[in-house]
Structure 1
Amino acid sequence: MRLRLAAALLALAVPAALAGCGAARGGPPVTPGAPSAPPAHVEPATAPPAAAAAPLARSEPVRVEIPAAGVDTGPVLDLGLAADGTVEVPSVADADRIGWYDKGVTPGETGPAVLIGHFDTARGPAVLKDVAKVRTGDEIRVRRADGTTAVFRVRELEQVDKKVFPTRKVYGDTARPELRLITCGGELVDGHRPDNIILYADLVV
């Protein structure tokens, strides 16, 4: 097991507010008076894995494009570990940007690269407000610092209760370059969204 993977597994051992919520990491809950996003829900779906593409050399992500969700955002934020060992999420002020978990691989390297973004915050809809429009087979494109673009195809959509977050499935080692995109989901409960929406994607170019 790689050191990067070990760090990720340690960080995700607690069922923290993992990603993408206005209430995550102590941020304010989504308030009833804030402009509402579409329902924070995806239908579980799985497609056959895409044909494997050759891994890319390490290069940090600088921009993320998800055409199906109307996302074209950058620069990408670097997210590490908070003092309590949980994974950082973008601040509410950066709700229009996506972050990359920098203790893991970069998008295109062998292993699971992890991107995190808000669905909504107390200020209203955020960068991943239209994540429910994404379907299996859709592309996620990650521009990298070396000038290359890693193109991923969505293979699986999953919505899970944060209390049973699939840590090993998301952060566990893989034999090919893969991507995970994580945000929040579910209907609001006391201003918080109880679920995580997770997209799993394979490198195709």
Structure 2
Amino acid sequence: MTRPAPSRRRLWAGAALAAALVAGSTACGQEAADEPTSAPPAAAPASPAPSPTAATPTAAAPIDIRPAVPEPAVSIPRPVRVQVEGTGIDLEVIPGGVEANGAMALPDNHDQAAWYRYGPAPGAEEGSSVLAAHVDSRTEQLPIAGLKDVPAGTVVTVTREDGSVLRYAAEGVDHIAKKSLDGHRLFDRTGEPRLKLVTCGGQWLEAQDDYEDNVVLTAAPVS
């Protein structure tokens, strides 16, 4: 099986995605006391050194510190398969992270989609669960190329590793220029729970060696 061209493996999230990855991982220390602005009068005697065992009082209020490690999230079974009714889209799903250039990492094959594992999983109570896959290879278009034509109301099914099945209904499909992709919106960790299927689309730009757009299908959970 021919591997996809390196230039067609990119789902760009830009600086917004990089910012989302480091959120919650920063700790800050307490600031040092201000230095005196002038020397004491020459006639004033030097203050005696405090006893090694004496407590040194301070008027500084304690500073709240963000934990360096976020509290563990509620465990949710990871997605292992996604299917879109009435299309040929039927893909195994594996966890995916981020490449060194800030793009979402996708599998190096045509049969799998990546779930953005640093964001919500399908079934989470809030935020967007992002699944992404290649649109083509060097020699052929892949089934997910039909994502742009999926009508509203189409059922999207996600199977999880524990065997449970989640159903979503497509709300619509957006073509978003990669140069203006809103990473905070696509990879949102808050708000109404949504499933987002993503691939490349639009015009092939020879100068950029990449597609012009990302095609994003948004679907809402149904009972």
Shorter chain as denominator, the TM-score bin is 0.5 to 0.7
Deviations 1:15-40 (A, max 9, x none): xxxxxxxxxxxxxxxxxxxxxxxxxx
Give, in whole Å, the separation in 1 of the partners of 2:217 and 2:198.
7
Per the alignment, residue 11 of structure 1 pairs with: 18
Report SS of the residue matched to 1:59. Answer: coil
In 1, are the aligned partners of 2:168 and 2:221 still within 8 Å (CA)? yes
Cα distance change of structure 1 residues 103 and 154 upon mapping to structure 2, 3 Å threshold: same
Q: Does 1:82 align with 2:99?
A: yes
**Count of matched residue pairs:** 153
CA RMSD of aligned residues (A): 2.2
Match of 1:188 in 2: 204
Would the aligned equivalents of 1:118 and 1:127 in 2 still touch at CA under 8 Å?
no
Question: C-alpha separation between the residues in 2 aligned to 1:82 and 1:127?
Answer: 24
> How far 1:12 sits from its partner (Å)?
7.2
CA 1:175/1:132 → structure 2, altered by over 3 Å: closer, same or farther?
closer
- Distance in 2, matches of 1:180 and 1:11, equals 19
1:135 and 2:157 correspond:
no
Summarize the alignment of residues 44-123 of structure 1 with structure 2, pairs less than 5 Å apart.
Answer: 58-74=76-92, 76-91=93-108, 94-110=109-125, 111-123=127-139
Asked if the contact 1:69–1:133 (Cα under 8 Å) also holds between the matched residues in 2, the reply is no
Structure 1 SS opposite 2:205: coil
Q: Output the TM-score relative to the length of structure 1.
A: 0.68
Aligned ranges for residues 1-40 of structure 1 at < 5 Å? 9-11=16-18
Kindly, what percent of the aligned residue pairs are identical? 31
User: Where does the alignment leave 5 or more consecutive residues of structure 2 unmatched?
Assistant: 1-14, 21-73
Larger gyration radius, structure 1 or structure 2: 2
- The aligned amino acid for 1:198 is V
Larger relative CO (CA 8 A, sep 6+): 1 or 2? 1
Change in Cα spacing, 1:67 to 1:168, as seen in structure 2 (3 Å) is same
Q: Deviations over 1:32-54 (max 9, x none)?
A: xxxxxxxxxxxxxxxxxxxxxxx
* Unmatched 5+ stretches in structure 1: 1-7, 14-55
Aligned to 1:33: none
User: Could you say if the C-alpha distance between residues 120 and 101 of structure 1 is closer, same or farther in structure 2, counting changes exceeding 3 Å?
Assistant: same
